[in-house]
Structure 1
Amino acid sequence: MPDRPEIVCICGSTRFEAEMRAANRDLTFAGAIVVAPGVSLRAEDHEVDEFITNDQKTALGALHLRKIDLADRVLVVNPGGYIGDSTSREIAYARATGKPISFTDPV
C-alpha cells in the first residue's frame, strides 16, 4: 500500500465543468486526491458585477501550474478531443516536468 493516495490534477476547458466534476467524483471514489480548477474563467459563469481581471486570470493560470507540480499525474478532460490554449499550455508544462498525462477522449 502506498504511503499516500495518488494525486491527480484535472485540466481542461471550464466549458466542460460538469465533465470535470464527474471526473473529480470518480477519481475521489477511486481513492485519489484530486486538484482541479477552482474558478471558472468563462464570463457567462459569473454574475454581472463579478469581473475577473487579467491579473487574476494570470494568477489563476500560474496557480494551476503549481497544482500540476503537486500531482503525480494529469488527467485532461477533453470531450470530443477539444483542447484550448490554456489547456495546451498546461499539457506542455506537464510534459516538460515529466508528469504522466491521460485524456478522457482521443486527441
Structure 2
Amino acid sequence: MSDRPEIVCICGSTRFVDEMRAANRELTFAGAIVVAPGVFGRAEDHEAGELITDEQKAALDALHLRKIDLADRVLVVNPGGYIGESTSREIAYAHATGKPVSFSHTA
C-alpha cells in the first residue's frame, strides 16, 4: 500500500465554478491531490476582450483528458444533475480508461 495521496480529477461544466472550488477545497482538506479545470469560460471570469477562442477551448479539453490520465478517480460536479457535452466526453474517456467516476449530485 502506497502512502501517496489519492489523486482526484474534478470534471463538470465551468459554469459551476463555485461548486468546483468547494469540491476542490473539501477534497484537499480530506488529503487528496486535486486536478481540475484551470480556466473557466464564463465571460465574467475574463477581462474585457479575453474570451476563450475555439482553438484554446480544444487545447483545454485535450489537457483535461491528460488530467484524467493522472487521476485515480473522477468526481463530476453536476448541480441539478446537469452534464453537458464536454463533461459527457470526459466521463466516457474516464470509463474507457478504467477510472472510477462519481457524481456530486444525482439527477
TM-score bracket, normalised by the shorter chain, equals over 0.9
| Structure 2 residue ranges without an equivalent (≥5) | none
What is the TM-score when the length of structure 1 is the normalising length?
0.95
- Output the amino acid matched with 2:49: D
| Structure 1 residue ranges without an equivalent (≥5) | none
Tell me, yes or no, if structure 1 residue 71 matches structure 2 residue 71: yes
Q: Please give the alpha-carbon distance, in whole angstroms, between the structure 1 residues aligned to 2:33 and 2:45.
A: 26
Number of residues of Structure 1 aligned to a counterpart in Structure 2: 107
- Give the match for residue 93 of structure 1: 93
Deviation at 1:14, TM superposition (A): 0.8
- Output the amino acid matched with 2:93: Y
Q: Please give the alpha-carbon distance, in whole angstroms, between the structure 2 residues aligned to 1:98 and 1:67.
A: 14
Matches within 5 A, 1:1-107: 2-107=2-107
Q: Please give the alpha-carbon distance, in whole angstroms, between the structure 2 residues aligned to 1:103 and 1:53.
A: 29
Task: Judge which range, 93-102 or 43-52, deviates more.
Answer: 43-52
Deviations 1:3-57 (A, max 9, x none): 3000000000111100000000000000000000000122342222213211111
Q: Please give the alpha-carbon distance, in whole angstroms, between the structure 1 residues aligned to 2:38 and 2:80.
A: 23
Q: Please give the alpha-carbon distance, in whole angstroms, between the structure 1 residues aligned to 2:93 and 2:43.
A: 25
- Output the amino acid matched with 2:7: I
SS at match of 2:87: helix
Residue identity (%):
81
SS at match of 2:40: coil
